[in-house]
Chain A
Amino acid sequence: MKGLLVISGLGIIAMLAEIFKFKKVLLPLVLIGIALAYTLNVFEWNTPCDISYFSNMIAFDKVAIAFSGIIIITAFFWFILSHNYFEEDSNLVDHFTLVLFVIVGALMLTAFKNMTTLFLGIEIMSIPLYVLASSKKKDIKSNEAGFKYLIMGSFASGFLLFGIALIYGATGTFDINLISEYTSQNAANMPMFFYVGVIMILVAMSFKVSAAPFHFWAPDVYHGSPTLITALMSTVVKTAAFAAILRLFMIAFSGISESWTLILAVIIALSLVIANFSAAMQSNVKRMLAFSSISHAAFMLMVVLANVRSNLSLNAVIYYSLAYSLASIVAFGVLHVAAKNANGNENTDAFNGLAKKNPMLAFCMTIAMLSLGGIPITAGFFAKYFVFTALIGTSFKWLLVLAILASAIGIYYYLKIVIAMFYQKHDGEKTFELDKPQAIAIVLSTLAILVIGVLPGLIANMFKM
């Protein structure tokens, strides 16, 4: 809770920077603030779980704190990575404020206890992102990305709200714990429209995490937005939306799981197949990473399917989100630098000969790609392993087979980039240096991937069995 307050305050302070002329120190200030928020967040770990704030609107239990931690860490790396993206732009202060409020919305989504907070969290997170996605004013691609994101986002919000309204009609409450109590007491005579509401919420949330068949906006939006904003979308936003799904379906609708598990299984299966086959056919790396993020969303959704608040699946999902976020930060960071040095070329050939030009960058990108593909000693391997372990006790073993086949295809398109870096020739053989903060962010995230890959116990025993 304190972390959320600190970051909200930071957002407001950032807005004042233009008036009181402390734009120069804004980035260090924001970094210190985020570090402070992280520390406060960690200290809340041992507080009792049932403390809720604002008349039961929000409650930071252990799951929420773990997800907030992941979001805050990624946000920290993201701010270091994007320091010169901000300097290039004249509207520095607006960008800082918008990004900080995206994080505020994301933190609300990890900890909501009431449908009102769920809706407000999604909107606080999404509305600044619409602006950020279209923040290259003269670039029609960026405009189009923002516009598509806005239309699809509000369309999904409409579905979410209709679902919430139907559930309110059936149960008479917005509180997720009371909804769960009510459904378990009146399981036999819930009206039909209650189940329609649950399915509509499921559809809306699949839109938000971009799971197939509601994924079609994601490649376009990821492609058109500025690369670093895409990095924000595929890490912070995805983790938060996923935390929200987990909370909804593991608390509010866990009692009626037979009505949604089959639909969720179909969504996951479709995402795995469509995302991996489409990703293999992309030449634009941003689009490829967009499809890869759809496939990773499917892996994370498997945990929701698997069960129902056991510590095993909670550990699995926390580990997966962290591994995925770190690898995405590195991948988009390197893509940002490489594309800049290739005159804005974002295709696979922008990576040609990167191993010669900057070996350190190529090494980091290789680790990130291996981690996304799930190769051992990187975090991605154990992430997939834990998810599969969580799923193996359920009746959805056919999904497991599909998921393993899908990750095999995944390795093909991740290695395509690695091959381009190490084996493809490039005419201009000049090396390039990248500036210190970016290098620090990329190297630190890579190290983190390796450390939690070698010692998975650091994260994976967070919730005691």
Chain B
Amino acid sequence: MINGISINYYILLSAVLFIIGAVGVMARRNSIIIFMCIELMLNAVNLLLVSFSVLHNDASGQVFVFFIMAVAAAEVAVGLAILSMIYRNIKSIDTDLLSNLKN
């Protein structure tokens, strides 16, 4: 129990956010939206870690969240750089156009 709310609700909320993110990555075709969905997945994890951290009265979960934030920022920086490179080459960021790799 955290502030009178059962931990199950926190797990449920994170799981729902995570699934929305995961479905978004698989279903959407715009690269920027795919990045946003990945961020959503990572933030669902952050929420879950913080709530467990409060539940266990243990700070290490919150420290882990800082690591995730830093790494997510690095990942998006690299991702946007690759994306701008792709845009320069094909003038689009639609993932349907990225199908040059075939046997």
Contacts and interface: CB of A to CB of B under 8 A. Distances in A.
Interface in B41-88: 41-42, 44-45, 48-49, 52, 55-56, 58, 60-61, 63-64, 67-68, 71, 74-75, 78-79, 81-83, 85-86
Interface stretch (A147-155, A207-215, A297-305, A413-421): A147-155
B89 A174 contact: no
A130 interface: yes
Nearest to B7: A169
Contacts of B5: none
A127 B64 contact: no
Interface residues of B, number: 43
B103 interface: yes
Nearest to B99: A144
B101 A220 contact: yes
Q: How large is the interface on A (under 10, 10 to 19, 20 to 34, 35 or more residues)?
A: 35 or more
A140 B99 CA distance: 10
B90 A140 contact: yes
A169 B12 CA distance: 13
A287 B98 contact: no
Main secondary structure of the interface of A (DSSP, over half): helix
Contacts of A157: 42, 71, 75
Contacts of A174: 60, 64
Nearest to A131: B78
Nearest to A138: B89
B85 A137 contact: yes
Interface in A189-233: 193, 219-220, 223-224
Interface string A145-168: 111101100110110011011101
A208 B65 CA distance: 22
A224 B102 CA distance: 10
Interface stretch (A31-39, A277-285, A364-372, A448-456): A277-285
Interface stretch (A115-123, A402-410, A425-433): A115-123
Contacts of B90: 140
A116 B60 CA distance: 10
A93 B56 CA distance: 46
B41 A158 contact: yes
A143 interface: yes
A146 B68 CA distance: 21
Contacts of A140: 86, 89-90, 100
Given A150-B78, A162-B18, A168-B52, A283 B58 contact: no
B74 A123 contact: yes
Contacts of B79: 130, 147, 150-151, 154
Which of A143, A146, A166 is the most central at the interface, judged by chain B CB atoms within 10 Å of its CB?
Answer: A143
19 contacts: A119-B68, A120-B71, A127-B75, A130-B78, A134-B85, A138-B89, A140-B86, A147-B82, A151-B38, A154-B79, A162-B48, A164-B64, A166-B48, A169-B11, A169-B52, A169-B56, A173-B60, A219-B101, A224-B101
